[in-house]
Chains A and B, each alone.
Chain A
Amino acid sequence: MTKLRVLLLSLLGIWLAAPPLAAQDYPTRPVRLIIPFPPGGSNDVVGRLVASNLGERLGKQVIVENRAGAGGVIGTEIAANAAPDGYTLLVISLAHAVNPWLYPLKYDPIKAFTPIAVLATGPNVLVVHPSLPVNSVRDLVALARQKPGEVQYASAGIGSFQHLGAELFKLMAGVNLLHVPFKGGGPAMIDVVGGHSKVMFSSLVQTTPNIKAGKLKPLGVGGVKRNPVLPDVPTIAEGGVADYEAVNWWGLVAPAGTPPQIVERIYKAVAEVQAAPSVKQQFATQGADTLQMGTAEFGAFMQTEMSKWGRVVKEAKIKAE
């Protein structure tokens, strides 16, 4: 027993005392990729897709670790406190730019991290149950003006992408819809397909099967351009709510202070992964597009997103007091 403990402790000691290896040798051991959401969600799907391909290109395995909880805060906090040696990476999404406005955080969402790369983006899509007598964004706006606060929309919960996309719509179109929150996107979608809540600003991937089956009617997509998955569906901006844009994004960051050479190395590997046709196609089936952005550009993008959604959280009074 004591012998074993001594052995384990000394092994741990060796591991801890190992001198920081030169950045050019990176990586010399497997890389940990923290996904701050449970298996099965978009963050997880995107993260795992990148992990398996990134591992091949870096020459060491990239091990996915789901540290879910508190809307992504738990996993993000673990990554923020990890050693900035390139062996801990974090997959973030839109939630990263929203959480600071909703929860007390023990990390700075911008300063605690070194941005590496945007992995992909995917717009939302505004769908209604076929029983709702509207055929366009304009119809919906008119109906909502006629019956303020009566038309109900379902979301995956307070602060979710589905919730924020709808609140942004309400602010920009100047209408009032009633928010019905659920625990996750799946139950919310079931309620809308069942015709109980009538409207949802859902992620494209989750919604496409039911649109194709005629169970849900698409009114508009939330991107700046139409989406190839639904080429006949106009954008919400085209539909009359000018400049409306609600796009979820997934990105890769490392703890602040990660050596620039290592960040560069990972950035290049990610760019290669993104360029691979098989990866592009797998993203496409998820309703997402790969997007390449320089590390500095990504940092600025995070700032913009934070202020954009911060305004929505404040103006829509989403934060509970």
Chain B
Amino acid sequence: MDLLGNLVLGFGVALSLQNLLYCFIGVLVGTLIGVLPGIGPLATIAMLLPITFSVPPVAALIMLAGIYYGAQYGGSTTAILVNLPGETSSVVTCIDGYQMARQGRAGPALAVAALGSFFAGTVGTLLIALAGPPLAEFALSFAAPEYFSLMLMGLVAAAVLAQGDMAKSLAMVVLGLLLGIVGTDVNSGIARFSFGVTELTDGIGFVVVAVGVFAIGEIISNLGDATRRTVETAKVTHLFPTREDIRRSIGPVLRGTSLGAFFGVLPGTGPAIASFSSYMLEKKLAADPDRFGRGAIEGVAGPESANNADAQCKFIPMLTLGLPASGVMALMLGALTIQGIQPGPQVMTQRPELFWGLIASMWIGNLMLVILNLPLIGLWVRLLSMPYRLLYPAIMAFSAIGVFSVNNSPLEIYLAALFGVLGLVWMRLGFPLAPLLLGFVLGPMLEENLRRALLQAAGNPMVFVTRPISLVFILATLAILVVMAFPAIRRRQRDIAD
């Protein structure tokens, strides 16, 4: 394989003045929509699609791709600064990123997020270049049983997210699963828990819940407590990570990147799963897991790398098989088709300049994003010194706009407000929010894949252990259970000995 020659060709295409310009426009727009909650790459790309008809195919694709991965960088900014997840994938970043900001460490959090994302983006790009087609073939071997076992493993591992009271964490996971059930049942077409409200037949949006419990709940909480409102400005010590921060981040970035790449290749997993997994892994590996949820930099470095690797690798099924792994990828396929290019495996051989040009541009785009984002950190942090009476209405307004713009649905704003109040109640009662969101994300996928697997296997549950990949996940799930049970067993033995 002539990788070098291909890369030279790719960089030759991507480094043309025109393509560099489109790449820059793409990542700039992506950063902006990433910062704004709700307004995601899907809506933006749909709006810009007609404009790209008149642009050469390579340039169009470079720009659209830039918007998509640019949004992953921008999404973490508001999550860290004001607890407002800019994109679905940055919800996890809220947990520790926002706590870091409260401690005056917004700068290091933002910097680590950007650098981790850049590293993950570089690895993701390399993976596409080196192993795109075989990885895509691997992903195709995943069907309903594999997805179910994988999600099951994730749900069991979620016990790691428990902070303090295990019972409360489990209660929140179950509540998340229940909330995830709202909406039309895939198998029968019956609307569940929609109470006759048409909008609810599509379920409750992830953005609605996340913005509600995190951003709005936080604001209400701050308003009720005068001392909390000024913390952010008190002690901004340094803008960039210390040597200690970097040392702590290296491992999480590497592991997050691997996890993100794995989930990115699989078309049947949503954006939040990679970052959640990374967070759980870091917390499990940490010598002092108690720091998590209180501003652990690992909790930002890992998930942020994971979500960027995930975003980058979502291109693999699209580019090598012509199969869309997400709505955004479906739009990119649409853009290709309208340009008169038949997407699919033949793109690589028939239009190498397009394939390799796009890959090279992705790396260049990631570089641009780091250069764009690092100097902005100072500006963002200064934003926090804004008086709270100005800051919070702004956050509320952006939250409302963001929630509304997902489906142009007013009902979702009311729902977000409701979740804001619920979030406040849960926070006050000491119920952790992360398990709720994880249950909410995994629940519908677990159910859908369980029922589909059984349907396709004519009701035979053995399908989960007779298929090798599924079996691996089931065994891993059992292993996690054993590992978790161990400390409890040991503790009991000690109790008996005493």
Contacts and interface: CB of A to CB of B under 8 A. Distances in A.
B140 A193 contact: yes
A148 to B, nearest CB: 13
Interface in A257-291: 282, 285-286
Interface string B176-191: 0000000011111110
Contacts of B456: 152, 180, 196-197
B338 A39 contact: no
Interface in A41-75: 41, 44-45, 48-49, 52, 65-70, 73-74
Given A157-B189, A178-B455, A65 B322 contact: no
A213 B345 contact: yes
A209 B330 contact: no
Interface class of chain A by DSSP:
mixed
Contacts of B201: 69-70, 73
Given A186-B324, A186-B330, A193-B140, A213 B346 contact: yes
A212 B327 contact: no
Given A158-B186, A194-B141, 12 more contacts: A38-B327, A45-B338, A48-B49, A68-B202, A158-B189, A182-B186, A191-B144, A195-B140, A196-B143, A197-B456, A208-B342, A286-B337
A40 B189 contact: no
Most chain B beta-carbon neighbours within 10 Å: one of A66, A189, A190, A286: A190
Interface string A89-109: 000000000000010001000
13 contacts: A39-B45, A40-B46, A40-B327, A67-B407, A69-B201, A74-B198, A190-B267, A190-B323, A193-B321, A193-B323, A194-B143, A285-B337, A286-B337
B289 interface: no
Interface string B427-456: 000000000000000000000100010011
B241 interface: no
B452 A180 contact: yes
Contacts of B323: 186, 189-190, 193, 210
A40 B331 contact: yes
B26 interface: no
A310 interface: no
B317 A65 contact: no
Contact of B189 (A74, A189, A320): A320
Interface of A: 38-41, 44-45, 48-49, 52, 65-70, 73-74, 77, 102, 106, 150, 152, 157-159, 178, 180-183, 186-187, 189-191, 193-197, 205, 208-210, 212-213, 215, 282, 285-286, 318-320
B41 to A, nearest CB: 10
A320 B201 CA distance: 14
B46 A66 contact: yes
Contact of A48 (B50, B190, B322, B324): B50
B455 A69 contact: no
Contacts of A77: 198
Contacts of B140: 190, 193-195
Query: Secondary structure at chain B's binding surface: helix, strand, loop or mixed?
Result: helix
Interface string B393-416: 000000000000001110000000
B268 A187 contact: yes
A191 B338 CA distance: 25
Contacts of A191: 143-144
A183 B448 contact: yes
A31 to B, nearest CB: 16
A81 to B, nearest CB: 13
A70 B322 contact: no
Nearest to A105: B198
B322 A183 contact: no
Contact of B340 (A194, A285, A318): A285
A-B CB proximity, top 7 nearest: A39-B46, A158-B189, A209-B344, A194-B140, A196-B143, A209-B322, A320-B188
A38 B455 CA distance: 28
Contact of B198 (A73, A152, A213): A73
B239 interface: no
B142 interface: yes
Nearest to B197: A70
Contact of B407 (A68, A106, A157, A209): A68
A205 B338 CA distance: 11
Contact of A69 (B46, B198, B345): B198
